[in-house]
A and B are shown apart, each in its own frame.
Chain A
Amino acid sequence: SYELTQPPSVSVSPGQTARITCSADALAKQYAHWYQQKPGQAPVLVICKDSERPSGIPERFSGSSSGTIVTLTISGVQAEDEADYYCQSSDTSGHVFGGGTKLTVL
């Protein structure tokens, strides 16, 4: 198994761009997925396979990958985007989640 490393927190002002990273050597070969979790709610998939946006997710959410780092980008951040964000990936033994990043909208 391996670990996915995320920054504990990211802060941005409304309308700015937030970038949250997730890193691991395994990400050079494995896809990553991103989940948004608001207080008291179950996680919601916002990006799958590094950069695909599921149906119903706003276009301001995007994802990218470069080597061992994947990035979740939220363009034009809104107050409602304040939440915890988790990356997730998989290997032959199962699934791993990053430690989570708390996005604060100032």
Chain B
Amino acid sequence: QVQLHESGPGLVKPSQTLSLTCTVSGDSISSGTHYWSWIRQPAGKGLEWIGRIYEGGSTNYNPSLMSRVTMSVDTSKNRFSLEVSSVTAADTALYYCARETMDIALVHYFEYWGQGILVTVSP
């Protein structure tokens, strides 16, 4: 069974960089058969896709966050990471990592999700 687990600091100061890691079990990032995404959800609000990374390191980011987001992958540890720079209170949210299934028709959807990690931006 595929499992994803988010980890990282739950509290980040304004203007600093938020850093999270997603560790994958039950699947191998290096297999190159899936994309790996980050999605966030402010309290009481909807889901926002942040971006995704492929095993070779290629990335796609949400245009609204592109200037502040960096993703990376460590296939040796079967994990991928997210950095969001210059954070403000608006970045306070539950952050999820997810496996992006891509079928033969190149249709993408999120089949497996982590449980999420709450990150609060506060002095």
B47, A42: Cβ atoms under 8 Å? no
Chain B contacts for A90, CB-based, 8 A = 107-108
B48 CB within 8 Å of chain A: yes
Q: Which of B46, B109, B116 makes the CB contact (< 8 A) with A98?
A: B46
A31 interface residue (CB < 8 Å to B): yes
Contacts of A94 in B (CB 8 A): 49, 51-52, 60-63
B86-123 interface code vs A (CB 8 A; 1 in, 0 out): 00000000001000010101011111011110000000
Which residues of A15-60 have CB atoms within 8 Å of chain B's CB atoms? 31, 33, 35, 42-45, 48-49, 54
- CB of A86 within 8 A of CB of B46, answer yes
| Range of interface residues on A (Cβ < 8 Å) | 20 to 34
Give the contact-size bracket for chain B.
Answer: 20 to 34
In the bound complex, do residue A45 and residue B108 qualify as a contact, i.e. CB atoms below 8 Å apart? Answer: no
B46: A residues at CB distance < 8 A? 86, 97-100
Which B45-85 residues have a C-beta within 8 angstroms of A?
46-49, 51-52, 60-64
Q: Are A93 and B63 in contact (CB under 8 A)?
A: yes
B21 contacts chain A at the CB level, 8 A cutoff = no
List A contacts of B51 (CB < 8 A).
Answer: 94
Contact of B49 among A48, A97, A100 (CB under 8 A): A97
**In contact, A95 and B37 (Cβ under 8 angstroms):** yes
* Residue among A35, A97, A98, A100 with max Cβ neighbours from chain B (10 Å): A97
CA distance A78 to B96 in the complex (A): 28
Give chain B residues whose Cβ lies under 8 Å from the Cβ of A100.
Answer: 46-47
Contacts known (A86-B47, A97-B47, A99-B46); A43 close to B61, Cβ less than 8 A: no
Contact B108 A42, beta carbon cutoff 8 Å: no
A86 to B110, CA, bound (A): 12
Interface string of B37-48 (1 = CB under 8 A from A): 101000000111
> Which residues of chain B are near A86, meaning CB under 8 Å?
46-47
Q: Contact at A43–B107, with CB atoms within 8 Å?
A: no
Interface residues of A (CB under 8 A from B): 1, 31, 33, 35, 42-45, 48-49, 54, 86, 88, 90, 93-100
